[in-house]
Amino acid sequence: MRLTRSRLAMLACVFALPTLAVAQTPAPASPMALEAAADQRALEAAISALRAGQYRDALSEAENLASRGNPKAAALAGSIYEQGLIETATPEAAARWYRRAVTGGNSDAMLGLARLGLARKGGSTPGEALAMLQRAASNGRREALAPLGDLFLSGAAGPKDRTRAASIYAQAAAYGDADAAYAAGILYADGDPDPIDDPLKAIGFLRQAAQAGRADASADYGLMLYQGRGVARDLKGAAQWFKVAAEGGDLDGAFYWALVNAKAEGTPQNLELAVQWARVAKGSSPDADRLLGQLEAIAAKPKPATSKP
C-alpha cells in the first residue's frame, strides 16, 4: 500500500525523535581525548610564540610537551636549535630532539636530522642522513628524493650507485623537481655505462629542466636537438634553446649560440653577433677560444672595396 503524505510526515517525526534525544545527551570526552586536546593547544601556543619571535617561550613550550612524548613538539624544538634561534643553540641539541621525534615517526625530524648528517653537524653523519632520507621518502616526503639521489651519486654514505641515483632523480622529476630532472638527464646522456645512456630518457628530462628555466639545461637540451640524439635533428629548435641558455648566463650556451650564428645553422648568419657571444664564452673551453680566434681573424680582414655599377 502506498503511503499518504500524512503517514510519511508521521514516520519522519517518529524517526527524528531518537536523534533529538541522543543530541541532548552528548557522551563525555575520554581522558585520552582531553589530553590530546591539551597537547594540541600547547603545540599551537609554541608555534604562535615562534611566529611572534618569542623563541625562548616557544622552545620552553616545545620542550615541555616533547618531554611528555609528543614527536611534533620534539621536532619543533630540534628546528629551533638547528636554526640557532637562541643564543645557546647547538647542533648537538638539535640532533638530540630530532632523534626523539624520529622515534615517534615524525618525518619533519627525519629531514632535519638528514640536514645535520649531510653537513656533518651535531654528531650526525652522512650514513645517518641516508637512513633518514630513505625513511622520509618512504613516508611520502618528496623533498627527500633529490638529496637521497645526491648521496648515491657522490658515494658520501657508501659505495657510489649512479644507476640508483638516476632512478631516484627520475622519481623526483616526476613530482616536478627541475634540478632532479637535469641531474637525471645528464646521467642518461654522459657516456658513462652506469647507468647505460638512454637518449630518449635524457632528452625528456633535459627538456623538463630547460622549460623550468635552467640555463644549463637549455644548453644541453639544445645540444641534443643539434646532434639529433633522442629525436630527429632540429637545428632551428637547437638555435632557439642556445639563445635562451646564452641570455640566461650559461657559458656553454654562449659558445653554442655564437657557433650557430657563425655557421648559419638554425638562424641567419650574423658574424657580429657571433663575435659578441664568443667573447662572452671566452675561457670556458678550448673550442670556445678557438672559435673566438677564428671569428676575430675574419673580422680583422679588410673588406673588399665595392665597385660602382
Q: What is the pTM of this model?
A: 0.83
Q: Max Cα separation, the chain?
A: 112
Nearby residues of 179 by Cβ (< 8 Å), 6 or more positions away: 146, 209, 214
Whole-number pLDDT of residue 2? 37
How far apart CA 123 and CA 143 sit, in angstroms, is 23
Q: C-alpha grid cell for residue 197? A: 645512456
Q: What is the CA radius of gyration of the chain?
A: 31
pLDDT score recorded for residue 20: 33
Q: What is the CATH number of domain 50-150?
A: 1.25.40.10
Q: Do domains 50-150 and 213-299 have the same CATH topology?
A: yes
- Output the tens digit of pLDDT for each of the chain's 309 residues: 333 333 323 333 323 333 334 445 555 667 778 778 888 999 999 999 999 999 999 999 999 999 999 999 999 999 999 999 999 999 999 999 999 999 999 999 999 999 999 999 999 999 999 999 999 999 999 999 999 999 999 999 999 999 999 999 999 999 999 999 999 999 999 999 999 999 999 999 999 999 999 999 999 999 999 999 999 999 999 999 999 999 999 999 999 999 999 999 999 999 999 999 999 999 999 999 999 999 999 988 877 665 554
3-state secondary structure at position 66: helix
Q: What are the boundaries of each domain within the chain?
A: 50-150, 213-299
All cell numbers assigned to 251: 657559458
**What pLDDT does residue 137 have?**
98
213-299 folds as 1.25.40
